[in-house]
Amino acid sequence: MKVLISAYACEPNRGSEAEVGWRWALENINAEHDVWVLTRRNNKPVIEDFLKSSCQANNINFIYYDLPVLILKFKQVGNLVHLYYLLWQWGAYKVAKLYHAEHKFDLVHHVTFVSVRQPSFMGGLGIPFIFGPVGGGESSPKALRKWYSAKGKWRDALRDAMNAFIKFDPFMHSTFKHADRIFTTSSQTKNLIPKRYHYKTDVRLAITTEQLDKPVKAKVLRRTKFKLLFVGRFVYLKGLPILFRALQKLNVMGERVELTLIGKGEDQKVLCELAKSLNIEKQIIWINWLPHEKLIEEYQHYDAFAFPSLRDSGGLVLLEAMKNALPVLCFDLGGPNTIIDNTSGIKISSRNLSSDQAVDAWVDAIKKISRDNALYHKLSYGALLRVSAFTSESLRRDVYQRLGL
């Protein structure tokens, strides 16, 4: 099968959106498809350097496209970035049309950006068109925004307004109409798509992980302190003020719980001050971003993974934690709600929950998993089993088989 992948972001070893585009390309190669990837021209140096040392160089073709330099400057001017991206997608479609006339693709698949607010015109090629998985429709519960900064409240209000506009956006309606299959990363994102298109819309994560390359054993509880790990950006939407307040209550109860935070972000100073005011600074360890290889090694030193994010489309760090037999604690929101089930962690219901009630719910969840060795071992083992459902191969097979391909 000759597959055209539309991947605005596509680079090896970069993580995030670029990693999504790259993994889709590689997985189609592994499936022995004739793969063509349409991406930005500025991705070319990194891609070509990688292909020089790769045995897969003969099995993939890259088409590089960018807008004129004058329009590229739109990226630097506030909301003009959205106009820039719209123009890039239109230009990419025109380029794809020329290549399709010559090479006769069997399928076109839009993979990045992973955004339900950004259109694709690839449905105009007249061949089977897959849109997604796309995310971005996640919205943090308003009742859980109590400890947001003013900037955070403004950002989420603006995001909510932009998401509400999707149902009236003619470009998105055209994208949904021409897609043969639509995939979203969460039920929240699916609900933003007009219901007339739900019959061809399914929920599936955009992120994937690889099969375990070595056996990993399920964990047992330590006899000393219970060690929690968080990996991510220190920003308002990650829900860390809720976790910090839960840690304070556990500290008062005499529970021996330690939290390690790996990452960085604009709210780190505020969070450090919050930890001091709650008198839990001795229970928190801060570590700056680590190289990916070292981060993978770090997971094994902890008992569970805490991810209190209030809106997240994906959650690659959850998959990495699960590969290391760490049960996950999270809210039933966004991508984490799709990843975690009752065999691999504890999901905290956000339904009708106030911020103060959320703190108590986290206290209960941490106490539950840290006191019950049988439950802990069961969830650790379940995490290892559950993560196998999110490999690149399983994602490709699931997405393409829906079209009978």
Domain of residue 83 covers 2-209+390-401
pLDDT band at 55 (very low <50, low <70, confident <90, very high): low
**Inter-residue contact 146 to 353 (CB < 8 Å):** no
Same domain, 256 and 198: no
Same domain, 161 and 247: no
Same domain, 194 and 237: no
Looking at residue 214, its pLDDT comes to 59
**Inter-residue contact 139 to 345 (CB < 8 Å):** no
**Between 209 and 135, the higher pLDDT residue:** 135
DSSP 326-348: --EEEES-HHHHHH--TTTEEEE
User: Looking at the domain assignment, is residue 218 inside a domain?
Assistant: no
Q: In total, how many domains does the chain have?
A: 2
pLDDT band at 31 (very low <50, low <70, confident <90, very high): low
User: Looking at the domain assignment, is residue 355 inside a domain?
Assistant: yes
Same domain, 233 and 127: no
**Inter-residue contact 367 to 255 (CB < 8 Å):** yes
Rounded to whole angstroms, how far apart are CA atoms 43 and 33?
Answer: 22
Same domain, 375 and 230: yes
Interval 273-302: pLDDT, tens: 999 999 999 999 999 999 878 998 899 999
Question: What letter would DSSP give residue 304?
Answer: E
Looking at residue 301, its pLDDT comes to 93
Interval 101-121: pLDDT, tens: 999 999 999 999 899 999 999
Residue 59, pLDDT > 90, answer no
Same domain, 328 and 273: yes
| CATH code of the domain containing 330 | 3.40.50.2000
pLDDT band at 77 (very low <50, low <70, confident <90, very high): low
Residue 22, pLDDT > 90, answer no
**Between 54 and 357, the higher pLDDT residue:** 357
Residue 240, pLDDT > 70, answer yes
Same domain, 129 and 268: no
Rounded to whole angstroms, how far apart are CA atoms 206 and 133?
Answer: 5
**Inter-residue contact 328 to 220 (CB < 8 Å):** no
User: Looking at the domain assignment, is residue 221 inside a domain?
Assistant: no
pLDDT band at 69 (very low <50, low <70, confident <90, very high): confident
Same domain, 71 and 35: yes
Nearest to 270 by CA among 310, 240, 304: 240
Question: How large a percentage of the chain has pLDDT more than 70?
Answer: 94
Q: Which sign, positive or negative, has the C-alpha torsion 165, 167, 170, 174?
A: positive
Looking at residue 305, its pLDDT comes to 98
Looking at residue 211, its pLDDT comes to 60
Looking at residue 78, its pLDDT comes to 63
Question: What is the average pLDDT score of the chain?
Answer: 90
Looking at residue 277, its pLDDT comes to 97
**Inter-residue contact 344 to 328 (CB < 8 Å):** yes
Looking at residue 144, its pLDDT comes to 94
Same domain, 286 and 365: yes
Rounded to an integer, the average pLDDT of 16-21 is 84
Both tokens assigned to 27: 């997985």
Looking at residue 266, its pLDDT comes to 92
User: Looking at the domain assignment, is residue 367 inside a domain?
Assistant: yes
Residue 212, pLDDT > 60, answer no
At 164, the amino acid letter reads A
Same domain, 394 and 382: no
Single pTM value for the model: 0.85
Nearest to 242 by CA among 140, 161, 173, 169: 140
Rounded to an integer, the average pLDDT of 70-92 is 80
pLDDT band at 341 (very low <50, low <70, confident <90, very high): very high
pLDDT band at 209 (very low <50, low <70, confident <90, very high): confident
Q: Where are the alpha helices (DSSP H) in 289-403?
A: 292-298, 316-323, 334-339, 355-371, 373-386, 392-401
Residue 236, pLDDT > 80, answer yes
Tell me the three state secondary structure of residue 360.
Answer: helix
pLDDT band at 90 (very low <50, low <70, confident <90, very high): very high
Interval 364-405: pLDDT, tens: 999 999 999 999 999 999 999 999 888 877 787 778 876 766
